Structure 1
């Protein structure tokens, strides 16, 4: 049994409520950003002195032992190495320092990767953005919709339109999620083993005991038997739709989802440290993930005994990957380069431009959702010229096309609302940029 499969109490929800880097943080400071010493420090990657407020914030968490590690990376255009702030160790009380090759559970930062993989297939004509999913996965052709999202699974009406690939990419398919569904539907996700990311090999209070579906195909077939929470294309509901895209990719490409990501994204991008299953030989690079409860910081998944050393039953396109700061920065570099990385074309410029644009259906009102006032692209939020997402264990990442910048924050703790790191990180960036403008 996978006691730690991502459950209702996961921190992914709170971590995704506000934009990663609001326009007031980056976009009002173009002149200051262009004058940053990033290019001049190509071989001196630590830029703490140039970003004192970020450095102070990061060091406050490290010095107080609230987290074992916190690493910020700041990349400028297509420079081949991001600059860093922070550090720490693989675990509290451990003497092994982390670096850009250390491994972190990135959870929902997997979603933009799955989104870009989907855009590749759309660009190649193997998928259509507005193609009904039922044409690829027939079990999804005739869906039912709950009259009450928290009510009886028998009280339904027929879907008045098909689920499309656009709906899956933007969480507007009406599909539920283990961490957002309530009532009978939420229990059905547990009973059917419709898991997303994994947390631990051991029982964790607050997380349901879930036996996962045996494979991605069966996972998708079971999901198709459950009613939707809303009519497709009408509401933004954080959902298992990005996980379902993993199965769509398998059917359309003729490859396993894991193989497709490896051959089409990870290998071409030089992402040699991004895994659904961390090889035993690399366990020494894997950080420990912590649970924060009642003022206590407790290890819930140690590097040496991590659940990510086991192959998952279901490779989760919505939250299943482990990666390094260096690897994810290479993915962001590729996106920021509109599909070009180190002179090699990984995906087409048009695929990136469409995937990082606002793809929300016109009828969707997001005013009462976590992304109010924002857009949503292929697996990530869109705010102006920014595209990115965060993860349940404190990670976050974004690119800003208008400033030609990329940024990541890596740490490991759950739930994310235990610490106001996102808010403090935003404030620190704003303060540093303001100082640069005034200085």
Structure 2
């Protein structure tokens, strides 16, 4: 499904460059970005997992204020999209996986297609019908983001990167090729992949990484997975931001304890 430009706005450069090449050394994009590209994080741009300033495009993303991180963007959605559209892609659409940015674009898309803010849309279409509490983050006990002036209380950019998705079969099956997973080995190694908006386990490499289990370990200290085979949902919300791609010990302790507690 191609995305109607009236919902995204801004004119993309429609150009692609190599990760380590000059910004102006580009080739034309082979096709436009689709909704599936956004959901599978194969739109061609996203977080560059390398030390800051390692590559020209990484520097440009950071200079534009678009680098994914633990804090919400300080830009309004229109400005955020305008700046993103001014940058070339790192990969051809559909060819490689890059983390996070696709979800934020999906948030903008939801807002513009519905004519509501993302928060209002989620509240009216998801949280209220399901009886879920909607409350701005208080930031209690979180040194990184205090409670009196939380970055998340009234953000300029309502991020779609929080991972609110459905659980239909297509979304929870691996959508990446082996090559794409190898390119993002730091995330998937040889036991996981990516569905439509979430990670999926495809091979056991630990007590808890059972094939068919889906969810994600969030960089700001959360871990949430559903295991259909065990009829189990687990959610861990900590006050510890991840310091490396390797999840903190509390994550592995939580899941080890949860699976050890199963009666069968």
TM-score when scaled to structure 2? 0.79
Correspondence for 2:40 among 152, 170, 184? 170
Match of 2:205 in 1: none
Give yes or no for contact 1:233–1:364 (8 Å, CA) kept in 2: no
Q: Distance in 1 between matches of 2:95 and 2:70?
A: 30
Aligned to 1:246: 107
The equivalences for 1:215-294 within 5 A come to 215-275=76-136, 278=137, 283=138, 286-289=139-142
Other-structure match for 1:190: 62
Aligned to 2:8: 137
**Mapped contact 2:95–2:180 kept (Cα < 8 A):** yes
Structure label with greater radius of gyration: 1
Which whole-Å CA distance do the structure 2 matches of 1:224 and 1:186 have between them?
A: 15
SS of equivalent to 2:182: coil
Looking at structure 2, the residues matched to 274 and 131 of structure 1 have their Cα atoms a distance apart, in angstroms, of 34
SS for the counterpart of 1:188 is helix
Once the 2 structures are TM-superposed, how far is the Cα of residue 392 of structure 1 from its aligned partner?
A: 1.7
Number of the residue aligned with 2:156: 313
Aligned to 2:16, the other structure's residue is in SS state strand
For 1:233-285, what per-residue CA distance to the aligned partner results, in whole angstroms no more than 9, with x for missing partners?
1111214111011111122222222221111111112222344xx4xxxx4xx
SS of the residue corresponding to residue 408 of structure 1 reads strand
Structure 2 residue ranges without an equivalent (≥5)? 202-210
The equivalent residue for 2:182 is: 367
CA-based RMSD: 3.0
Match of 2:172 in 1: 356
In 2: Cα distance, 1:219 partner to 1:402 partner:
41
Shift of 1:176: 2.4
1:426 maps to 2:255:
yes
- In the alignment, the residues of structure 2 paired with residue 226 and residue 415 of structure 1 have an alpha-carbon distance, to the nearest angstrom, of 28
Hey, which of these two has a bigger chunk of helix by percent? 1
| Whole-angstrom CA distance in 2 between matches of 1:133 and 1:234 | 21
* Residues 312, 196 of structure 1: alpha-carbon distance in 2 compared, 3 angstrom cutoff: farther
* Structure 1 outlier segments of 4+, above 6 Å: none
What secondary structure, in the 3-state scheme, does the structure 1 residue paired with 2:180 have?
A: coil
Q: What are structure 1's unaligned runs of at least 5 residues?
A: 1-129, 201-210, 290-298, 322-330, 339-351
Matching of residues 10-409 of structure 1 within 5 Å: 130-132=1-3, 134=5, 136-137=7-8, 139=10, 143-147=14-18, 149-177=19-47, 182-194=54-66, 196=68, 198-199=70-71, 212-213=74-75, 215-275=76-136, 278=137, 283=138, 286-289=139-142, 299-309=143-153, 311-319=154-162, 352-360=168-176, 365-369=180-184, 370-372=187-189, 373-383=191-201, 384-409=211-236
- The 3 A distance-change label for structure 1 pair 363 and 145 is farther
Give distance in 2, aligned partners of 1:354 and 1:419: 30
1:349-403 CA deviation, whole Å, 9 max, x = no partner? xxx333333344x585313421244332221112243221122222111112233
